[in-house]
Amino acid sequence: MEAALRHRVLELAARAIEQRLNADRSDYAGPIRPCACGQRARYAGRRSKRFTTVLGDLTLERAYYHCAGCGQGTSPRDQALGLAGTTLSPAVTRLVGAVGAVVSFAEGSALLHELAGVRVDPTVVEHTAEALGQTIAVDDQTSVAPEPPAAPTLYLGLDGTGIPMRKAELADRPGKQADGSAKTREVKLCTVWSAEARAADGTPMRDAGSVTYSAAIESVASRDTDATPAAFTHRVLREAARRGFAQVARRVVLGDGAAWIWNLADEHFPDALQVVDLFHAKEHLHDVATAIYGPSSSLGRRWVERRATALVTGAFPALLRALARPARAHPAAQQCLEYFQRNRSRMRYPAFRAAGLCTSTGVVEAGCKVAIGTRLKRAGMHWTLRGANAIIALRCCRLSGRFEGFWERRAEAQRAA
């Protein structure tokens, strides 16, 4: 009964607004008006169009202008109401963005109907959410106003995670499949946060609301002949500038040990501390133990415990000696030995702990799951490059607390136009 009454009230409100707008002919701007192409558009009468709003569907009569030069038609009322180029009102578009960032397009369509009483076809949800994400991605590149630094120490974490792609997006790309082909492409993620809070044992904890994300399927390495850094490098620099990374007293770059992370840090943040995630370092030790003792050996577990203790207490020479012995017979041990030798200066965990620093990329790992995995790596999903990057941009914007700012800038731009 309540749902039926609510539906009736909304319908009456929709009809009242529809009648009032259709009775208003002030959107007529004369027989000729300028066109965006630079030529002149001529009045071609009034045209009706149906729009979906939070009150229900409205059919609006609007003055219509057509430009013979570019062949495009425009309606001043559509532009004034934020309805140009769409059949959804700004409020519904915003709702579509909210659900499209969280769940599949079909689920988003169902949620809109269940929670807001708005019917939007899943295909329209898809197209609208992706178009909104593309707009957000452009906005991310142009609105880099710095925020006040959140704390005296800021952490910048970098990582990557694969997402399933459509076959057309994987042509001629090498991968890890048995035939050498690829099923995924890697999303590169940049995360910035602070960790002034402390757990009961004194371990640094990320500060609530301090985490921001920026990610895309982008290249991180530039060819020697390139005049400018690769796209993901620009992304990292934008996020660092936005968060005031260069202004804080202490800057820390955290990563899993991948060479591209340290190359980027060396070039663009040379004075930042570099820390290899302790969890990943321990994972390398587990790989060695599995190679030597098998996957479920008590001997292997004890071997890892001793090596991990050496790692966290700073007994690095003993750790390297323990790895050097099996390295001659086991490639995994040799690779691990080289990994620890290469990253030794980034594994000074006793000194890092004494300075009150994070030694874990848990925030970055969680970001790969929260910002990317839970939305783009669900069963049956296969993405286009354009669609994936659009939804990633949309999702990162919301998770970073920047969705409201985007809509304010969007509204200002529409008013200016």
pLDDT tens figures, 235-259: 999 999 999 999 999 999 999 888 9
DSSP state of 148: P
What's the pLDDT at 111?
A: 95
Q: What are phi and psi of 160, to 5 degrees?
A: -140, 150
Q: What's the residue count for the chain?
A: 417
Determine the 3-state secondary structure of 183 from DSSP: coil
DSSP state of 296: T
pLDDT tens figures, 338-376: 999 999 999 999 999 999 999 886 788 888 898 999 999
What's the pLDDT at 146?
A: 82
333 pLDDT exceeds 60? yes
Residue 8 binned pLDDT confidence (cut-offs 50, 70, 90)? confident
68-93 CB burial, b ≥16 within 10 A, e <16: eeeeeebbbbbeebbbeebebbbebb
Please give the average per-residue pLDDT across 28-39, as a whole number: 93
194 pLDDT exceeds 90? yes
d(CA 112, CA 341): 54
202 pLDDT exceeds 90? no
What's the pLDDT at 178?
A: 80
In whole numbers, what is the pLDDT of the chain averaged over residues?
91
Residue 124 binned pLDDT confidence (cut-offs 50, 70, 90)? very high
Q: How far is CA 265 from CA 159, 220, 232, 240, in A?
A: 13, 12, 13, 12
What's the pLDDT at 417?
A: 64
Please tell me the pTM assigned to this model.
0.88
Amino acid at 280: H
d(CA 386, CA 32): 38
What's the pLDDT at 296?
A: 86
CB atoms under 10 Å from CB of 223, counted, come to: 7
